[in-house]
Structure 1
Amino acid sequence: MPDKTTRRLLMVLAASLLLSSCSTSDRGRAARDFYPRWEQGVGAPEAADFMKVVVPAGAAEVNGAVQVNPQEDVYLLSFVTDAKKAVQIAEDLRSEKPLRTKTVDLPPDQELFGHLGLPEPQTLKGARWAGVCPPCVKDHRRGSVQWIDIYVYDMSDGKARVYLHAF
């Protein structure tokens, strides 16, 4: 039978193991509850840099954000530019299919662009869409980007709002 000092040490060890296992599960739960979250102080420049998209000179209402997630961060970028430039940006993404109107039967799974104070692009009647997997089309400029969605919504006076969503 262990002596009194050994028993005390074993009890302290058991108690510390029990406490550490409880605190680890609390930290795990807290980490899960912390996602998704919007990265503070990060906006359009960082989103454009990640996507390797150049915002045209003179573009208005330039806004962006990064949503931090456990596996893949989501990058958002939106701006208003000349309609012709908007189409050129879409073409530069090298999608296998050109911009096309996309019929949406269901509301979006989540609101992302709402964080920027904008309606979700897939809810806008007449918005054109293209999607591309940069690694699939061998676009080495965007090697760290798995997917980019672009929506172009034509406005008045030859302007268009560009919505870019990437991860």
Structure 2
Amino acid sequence: MTACSGADADGARASDERWPRWDESAGVAEVVAFMNVAVPEGATEVEGAVQINPQEDIFLLSFVTDEEKAEDIAEDLRSEEPLRVRKGDSAEGERFGHLGLSEPQTLKEVRWAGVCPPCVSDGRRSKVQWIDIYVETLKAGRARVYLQAF
């Protein structure tokens, strides 16, 4: 029988863990697999990371693509609401800062949608409880897509 405060296989104490922390071995491939999304061909500035938390890990993905492909990704998530303008809010954590990006919820005129895949019967994403998508319009028909899931 083991206790919550017992030592793990490496002899470290469980209470010594720091939360949240970043999984340095996880990147774009792990995030894409978890979210079951495809990074569009020709996308640039593709970044991904996984934040380890005691209850649920947070998966982050960002890239720049053309605006039409960004809209297609949002539509594929099957949100009950379309992307809508979301005025800049205060940052809830510094997650995307880990990727060297601004927090999307702080950007002016960013468009957002959220979806609960199990709630919309999206069996492709049965392990995902929630996905936020933010689309930031850039110049020349390009857009930065931010995806956050747990």
TM-score computed with the length of structure 1 as normaliser: 0.81
Give how far 1:24 is off. 4.0
Alignment of structure 1 residues 28-107 onto 2, 5 Å: 28-31=14-17, 34-105=18-89, 107=90
Counterpart in the other structure of 2:144: 161
> Please, which of 100, 103, 112 is the counterpart of residue 129 of structure 1?
112
Gap regions ≥5 residues in structure 2: none
Counterpart in the other structure of 1:14: none
- Give distance in 2, aligned partners of 1:110 and 1:74: 12
Q: Between Structure 1 and Structure 2, which shows a larger proportion of strand residues?
A: 2
> Please, which of 27, 35, 54 is the counterpart of residue 13 of structure 2?
27
Moved over 6 A (4+): none
Q: Between Structure 1 and Structure 2, which shows a larger proportion of helix residues?
A: 1
- Give distance in 2, aligned partners of 1:126 and 1:155: 11
RMSD (CA atoms): 1.7
Gap regions ≥5 residues in structure 1: 1-20
Give how far 1:132 is off. 0.1
What SS does the aligned partner of 2:144 have? strand
* 1:52-86 residue CA offsets vs partner (Å, 9 max, x unmatched): 00000010000000001111010000000000000
* 1:21-80 residue CA offsets vs partner (Å, 9 max, x unmatched): 9x749924313xx22110012111111110000000010000000001111010000000
Whether contact under 8 Å (2:60, 2:149) holds in the other structure is yes
TM-score computed with the length of structure 2 as normaliser: 0.90
What SS does the aligned partner of 1:136 have? helix
Calculate percent identity across the aligned residue pairs.
Answer: 62
Give how far 1:123 is off. 0.8
